[in-house]
Structure 1
Amino acid sequence: MPENPVLEGAAEPETLDLIHELLAETFALFRLGAADAMQFELAVVEIGANIIEHSRASGVVTLRLELEVFDDRIVANYSDDGNPARVDLDSVALPDDLAERGRGLAIAINVLDELGYRRSGGKNHWHLVRNLPTT
């Protein structure tokens, strides 16, 4: 089995393109189904965009994304050294229809089987899991 795909670098808007590329390479390598790949990618990119947008106070924030593919699930683990995320995942809900922002976490929760966040060692850690159909 190949090494887990990893992306590490500055949390900048251009990093979203690199996240998409890493996911595409991973999906091709492990032959994930289109629906599972699309929904997992949506969640991973939403969390990545939130990290990029909300973790910076000043200076460069370093982001790390590691993917793991198992027979029954795909996992993404993010860590970053930015500001603590001010989020209560238990209270996340979709905003009203006219809101221009604030849907990312709600969408991620809806397409994932597990979404976790913790702050440890001066870093934010996000854990994303989507279960895969077993054959």
Structure 2
Amino acid sequence: MKVKMNDSTIKECLGDVIYIGFKSSAKYEDGEKVADIGAVQYDLGAPLYANNNQEGASIQVRVETDRKPNIKPFKQVKFSNLVYDPYAGVSQMGDNARGILNDRFTCDAIEALHPQDRLYDEETGEKIEDKPIVSKK
């Protein structure tokens, strides 16, 4: 079962999602490594997401891409075609086995919600610095 989530569903089910970090995996074809990055798994904080009766857990979202994230840590993100795709599994301990539901999220792209929350300008490659705070005397 795949559930495509729109902006209002994301806000209602996950809250204001923030970027925590990422893990990348290489791309392989026929057992040969063809690229250093083939997919990125984003770690995101979701304050309204409940996992194992724990509200405010983090989620992992897989994106098929060849680029590292361009998002400053702990900044809000927006999704392009976020899909919730849970799957069933089995947990076994000794002679006891039980079914479990595993959450899986995928999407086409994840970007910073605000342009100033990017690490660099994608057109020029220039690093985006925080503006200094000027106090009025």
Max radius of gyration: which structure? 2
Larger relative contact order (CA 8 Å, sep ≥ 6): 1
Query: Which protein has the bigger helix share?
Result: 1
**When the two structures are superposed, what TM-score results if normalisation uses the length of structure 2?**
0.26
| Normalised TM-score (structure 1) | 0.26
Bigger strand share: 2
